[in-house]
Structure formats: C-alpha cells, structure tokens
Structure 1
Amino acid sequence: MKHAFALTLILGFATSAQAQNTLSERVTLAHGSYSSGGGITIAAELRPKDGRTALCGTWAQSTSQSSYTSGTAHNIVKLASVYVEGQRIYQDLGFMPQTAPRLDYAGAPARCVLTDLPWRAGHIPEVFLPRQQISHSAGGGSSPKISFRQTGTGAVGHGLEVVPFLTRNSRLVRLAPGPNIAEGRYSTGGGVRVAAELVAVNGSAHICGAWSDLAGQGERTKDLGREILRRTTARQAGKTVLSDLSGLRRVRARSDYTGVDATCLDTGLPWAAQEAGKAVTLHLPDQVVYRSTTPAGQQVIRFQPSPLQ
C-alpha cells in the first residue's frame, strides 16, 4: 500500500512539484563511493503534509567514473531506504529525480512522496545506501572487483581524471617567474592554492597553471579541490577570459610555483602582443561547499578566498 499510495501522490501533485519543489537549508546528505572512483549523493528532507511526513529529495552521481559502474547508480538509489529514529519510513528512492552534482544541495529541485509517519517537527531522515559488489562479465573474461559502500564524498568524490584527454597529453609548460597566485580556505581547515599565467600557444591565448590542496583538509573537503577550480575564473583587465580552471594540473603545495610543470587551457581568444604586459587575476569562489543536517546537528562548511600565507 505504501508504494501504491506514493505513486498516486507522485502522479497527483509531485509532477508539478518536480519543477517547483526545492530543498531547503535543512537538507540531509548521504554519500556512497565506488572503489574504482566516483560515487553517489542523495539529498533528502522531511516536510509536513496533511498531518503526515512527506519525504523529499534528489540524487546525483559523479560525471566521471569507470565504465564498469556506469548505469548502476539508479539501481542503488532504488535499493536505498530512509529511517527516522531507527524506524524505516520508506524504501526505494527511485522516485527522486536525478540532478547534476553540486556542492550545496539547498535549492536543488526535488520530488516528494507521502509516508505513513505522523509529522513531528525535529525529525531528521537518515538515508542508508546498500553495500554492493559491481561485476560486469564480458566475453568470458574476468572483470575487476568493484565495491560500493556508504562512505566518502559521493558525487563530488575523486572519480576518473577529469582533465580532458588532449590537455593531459599535451606538452607541459613550465611557469615563468611570478605567476599569479591565489588561495582560499575552508572554514574547517585546509584550502586550495592556484597559480597561473597567460601564455601564447599556437597563436591562441592560454591560461597555463597548476593548483594544490593545502594541509588541514577534513573528511568532507579533501576531495573538493577540483570542484573549487571548476568555479574559479581568470580575468584580465576586468574581463573574464576563462571561467573554469578545473583542467589545470594538480601538484604538491608550495609557496613558489616558478618552474612548475603546468597544463594549459585554451581561452578561445587570439593572442596579441600586448597581452604579454597584462596581468591575469584569479578569482576563487566564496560559497557554502557542504551543508547537511544530522541528528547531531547541522554542519555547514564554507570556502572563501583568503590572503596568501
């Protein structure tokens, strides 16, 4: 009856709610990771509806993962269950829409179903993801043993190398003395430092650089560096020349990046001689990078640009 009733609810009011429902700042996150890299994040929230408890949520998976795990995420989501104070209130989260991975799920589009649990303010959902062994047999050959379990940073965790193939295999450029350096810090410790400069490559203007994680990372921030770079911009004379630096090479943290082997990203702009005299400034994001409510309270982690240390 629970699933039949939920289906009626989805068809009755959640079809329009799919575009209108968004998660609040009280969202609760659950993460799962594949042993081969990448993972899944489920964002859930409880809301009152006609004296009962509605379960709302969405889910995301890593954009870069092994071909062996491709297509398995939705099945794992369907096997997930939600508990409140030790009582299972719902199983099969396949009703939740998939969304793109994000750092903060407050405001993410969601879909809701009604559960049998009477509404009580203060209830917190606990999402449990099933442990799985992933195996794909092809042509009689052996396939790698890949496991999935509830751990890590989920959809934004380390997956396959996300640097584009041609960038990874292109000639590295050594940074000249005095590249522009910028850094930011997480509110829980640690941070990200990036160094870059504007270089002429085959007649086009390229941003060449490298980035580093800074000591002090916590469990929730250790895998977020490239996501921070994805939201970092390079500007010249007040104009944005590149709005995603996630393709830059990751290196060990240092104070001087002179001579470091760097990858180069094409800005799509033609190189002009006068470009050599114009400085490039790097702008890191200022935003919440993790937000989750648990029975122990709410954890909010913010990333902010900071002076060089």
Structure 2
Amino acid sequence: MTQEESQAAETEGDAPQPRWQLFRNRAAPLLPEAGAAGAPLVAVITVMSFLAVLAMASLLMVNRAASEWTSELRSEITVQIKGANETEIAAGVSAALRVLEETEGVIEAEERGREETAALLEPWLGQGNASAFLNIPAIIEVKATPTLHDNLELLRNRLEAAAPGASLDDHSRWHDRLSNAARSGQAMAFGVFLLVMGAACAISIFAARAGLAANHEIVSVLHLVGATDDFIATEVQRRFFILGLRGAVLGLAAALLALGLTGMVMRSGLAADSFLPEFSVGGFMILWLLAAPVATCLVTALTARLTVLKTLSRQY
C-alpha cells in the first residue's frame, strides 16, 4: 500500500459517520412501529385528541357564554309602565323615575324610546300597527347593584304606590332558564370528553393485546433472560406514550386550526348578529385545551401498561 493510500484510509477512518448511520445504532423499540401499535394507533389517537380538544373548547365556550348572559341579567331590571293613554303613561314614567333616583343601589335608569319599544312588537303585529292602534307601555331599563337585585320587594311596592300601572321584572325566570341550559350544555360537552377518553382506553387495550400477541416470541425470550413483567410493561408503556404523544400533538394542532378558523369566521361578520359571545382562543383557554391531549396521551400509556401487566400475569 502506497503512502497516499494509507493517508486516504486513515482519513476515511477518522471521518464522522453520516447522521443516518448514527440513528441506526439506536436500540429498537420492544414493539415495532408497524401493526396495531404503530401508525394506525397514531392516526386513531390523533382523531381522539382532536375530538377531546373540541369537547373541551365547547365546555369552556358554554361556560363563558353562561357567565356573560347571567351577569347581564343579574345587573339589569326592567320597569314597565301601563296606562289608558299617553298622558297617564308619561305621568307614571315620571313618578317611577323619581322613585328610582331616590332608591339606593340604582346605578342607572333610562326610558326606552316609544319608537324603539314599538319596533319590538313589529314581528308579531306588523310594521306601524303597534304605535298606530295601541297605547304601548313605557319601558325603563335599570342597572342595579347585586344587593338591590337580591331584595326588590321594597322597590316593587314603592313603584306600585307611585305609579299604579308599574310592574317590575327582575328577569329571574330567564336567568334560571339560561342557567339550566348552560348546565345542560356543560354536562353534554363533559360527557363527550369522557366518551373520548373511554374510546382511547378501549383502543389502547386492543393495541396492547395485539402488540403482545404479535411479539409473543420476544416477550418469551425476555422472560427467559430474567426480565420481569414490570420491566416489559414499562417498555410497552414508554412506547405507547411516544405514539400517544405523536397523535396528541397532531390532534391538538388540527383542533387549534379548526378553532382558529371558526373564530375568524365569527369575527368576520358572518355571525355578527348571533347571541353567542365573541369567540377567541388565547390566554388561559389554551392552557385548558392543552389538558385534553395530555389526558389522551396519559390515558393511552397507563391503559397499555395495566393491560400488559394483566395479560402477562395470566400467561406466565
């Protein structure tokens, strides 16, 4: 061998190995990626994580909407003044406003215009018919403190004494209906989240059993060389955790994209007339949404571990 050939051989021996060759030296996982514990499991967990994030977002959105609705209702009172003619109604409005100004806890009291009140009746009576043929009652919108809102009996009696045609509505009926509807929506969203977690458990059980069955020889060799059931379960748990993490991240990304597009559509004006609150993803909401894929990943890994331990205890 010439001197040039010797130097070339030494240079080749000292040269760093390609990156792909370094990764080839990694230890292979106990369960290969192919089969029930591979790509199909990642795809299914992605779908489960996507649904879990959407269920969590629905729960948070219903909670926020209910809080806004009920807070507005608990801070507002409506006083309605009836009368045989406009003069009587106007006198009742003046008397009611004096009572409200003298009442402690009243933040603001404002009469709605006659045209605005008549517009509320047009869907049922037709345009212009309400103001032309009826003595439309006057409506006074009142903003009150929570203390006054919880004890309205004295104010109601004073209004009835000052203006015989006055009636007070604290919106308690609508408050109760909205609260019940919100609780039903929250229960439904939480139920969907629990169903998704249950489906993730079932899929993890099936995948873990299928993986053990497909790698029965490997498990037998491990037992022969002294590996314990806990060691095998830990390896399987780590493998399922990696697969679950992949699926959870993909599902979270897809869900955030869908929620972001939904928020853009609602802010663009297509849902401007909706009674729903403004939808946005940010702040603490993202932290709550992160809990859904994390739960999916942990449920998948822990269920796989318990399934492996139970299966191995029966077989060996």
Which has a greater percent of helix?
2
TM-score (normalised: structure 1): 0.19
Highest relative contact order (Cα 8 Å, sep 6+), 1 or 2?
Answer: 2
Which structure has the larger Rg over C-alpha atoms? Answer: 2
TM-score (normalised: structure 2): 0.19
Which has a greater percent of strand?
1
